Amino acid sequence: MDTELMVGDEIPEFTFMQMTADGPAPITTKELFGGKKVALFALPGAFTPTCSAQHLPGYVNNAAALKAKGIDTVACLSVNDVFVMDAWGKSASVGDNVLMLADGNADFTKHMELDLDASGFGMGTRSQRYSMIVEDGVVKALNIEEGVGLDVSSAETMLGQL
């Protein structure tokens, strides 16, 4: 663990994977956050109950409202591979509303000390559930869930922070 993420911190250089029309492609944190205002939310896993029933749909349903308040990109991050994130995005009909990002090796998640040991559930290393507003690479708001619910990292909470 290298650093604990806090409001005011600059996001370090990392590479995520995203699915494009041409197949899997890298996207760096510099490309994602540079010169933009991004609403990023992370969750333990694609197709898991709370993530699929509440967390992702909340951002899909509120994407237009977030963008109306100045958000350029709404992005979902999970410690899953790019193919799983793509399939989950399609099954949830995210369209162009939410950018589905894979942190397949949990490199970013571990570096930010936002990892979760879910090996007790047979899921290995995963991401904690959180959301953040990042403006030009700097964390402006950070909402980390303390428990298993969806209390502070929802799209509705983020809307109130803009």
User: Which residues are catalytic, by number?
Assistant: 51
Element (H, E) at 42: strand 37-43
Structure tokens that stand for 152 in this block: 């502070």
Q: Which of 150, 156, 135, 149 is nearest to 11 (CA)?
A: 135
Residues 116 and 144 sit within 8 Å (Cβ to Cβ): no
Structure tokens that stand for 4 in this block: 């604990």
Residues near 156 by beta carbon (within 8 Å), at least 6 away in sequence: 58, 62
Residues 18 and 100 sit within 8 Å (Cβ to Cβ): yes
Dihedral of the alpha carbons of 57, 60, 61, 62, in degrees to the nearest 10: 120
Q: Which of 103, 100, 110, 114 is nearest to 145 (CA)?
A: 114
